[in-house]
Amino acid sequence: MTTPSTSASTAREVIAVILAAGRSTRMKTSLPKVLHEVCGRPMLAYVLDACRGAGIRRVCVVVGYGKDAVIEAFAADGDITWVEQAEQKGTGHAVRMCEPALRDFAGDVVIIAGDMPLIHAETLNTLLATHRRGGAAMTLATTMLDVSVEYGRIVRDEAGRLRGIIEYRDCTAEQRNIQEMNPSYYCFDSRRLFSTLARIDNRNAKGEFYLTDAVALLIGAGERVEAVAAVPAEDAVGVNSRRDLATINDLMRRRILNRWMDDGVTIVDPATTWIDSGAVLGDDTIIEPFCYIGHDAVIGRGARIGPFALVPNGARVADGGRFEPNGETAIPAALRGRLQGAER
């Protein structure tokens, strides 16, 4: 596994571009998609964490719908350059909006979506390492998924060489059976990025400028384009609907619980336990069934929580302390009865 310091220690600079301009009409929401919460935090926060964990110190976030709300939510983050995409004309168009901000930058540009909070820093490190090792103009990280998923397909020739990416809407029936897919993790040499984007057209089913078209353009120009199968299937799950959001929350919840159990916390029944991201738990603490622990709660060592306890955001529990349901932290009696009935 490549460590974060590996990418940070190379002489070549790196900037991340995070695409966060979309509204997501399928979610039927007035809230910008990237502000919808996953385990107590906006989903964009996880993508920013992954970039920082990979040693990426400069980030451009492309905003559009609800831009003021997104900017306000991350006003304390001093490493973000905000770029507006006033009209959503596709991913290629979104990245082109960053050209003025990156005009004098000579290095690597990582481009990722802001609605994929399960991203790992290790995946970005693998992407960067592959890109630099091969001296590529562009490198993408791919994943293997069931053919029912509507992601762009990775097209290779008979020798296995990358030839391009076909967006799902533009795929033939045969191409839709390809399992290697594009979860939108890219790395570009900045010197080739914007000259290539200028050549992308919008002759496709959606009439948009696809960043994915850069693959075929660069290959056609004799440039080196790499693809590494580095994205675990779980990390490739994005949010396009409320159902997706529920799925992501459950996956993140389990990831958080596993981390705390690995760090010495006993969780008696993970299926009925929710711990928000940002909570801090001391080792040898025991979490009884049917408990919720809110964001920024701090629980000391050897504490016991629950059962049926709601630990609110920012609460403090001392070493060896006991937190049981009472007052405003209690689960309502009617709900408790239903839960106890479900146990029987």
> How crowded is residue 268: how many other Cβ atoms within 10 Å of its Cβ?
15
* pLDDT tens digits, one per residue of 59-106: 999 999 999 999 999 999 999 999 999 998 999 999 999 999 999 999
Please report, for the chain, how many H helices and E strands are present, in that order.
9, 21
pLDDT attached to residue 341: 55
* Pair 282, 299: CB distance under 8 Å: yes
Rounded CA-CA distance 304/284 in Å is: 9
The list of the chain residues with pLDDT below 70 reads 1-11, 326-344
pLDDT attached to residue 134: 85
Plot region of 82 (φ>0 → left; ψ -120 to 50 → alpha; else → beta): beta
* Pair 176, 168: CB distance under 8 Å: yes
Plot region of 321 (φ>0 → left; ψ -120 to 50 → alpha; else → beta): beta
At residue 268's C-alpha, the angle toward residues 266 and 273, to 5°, is 100
* Pair 107, 190: CB distance under 8 Å: yes
pLDDT attached to residue 340: 54
Rounded CA-CA distance 271/283 in Å is: 20
Give me the domains of the chain, ranges plus CATH numbers: 4-236 (3.90.550.10), 263-343 (2.160.10)
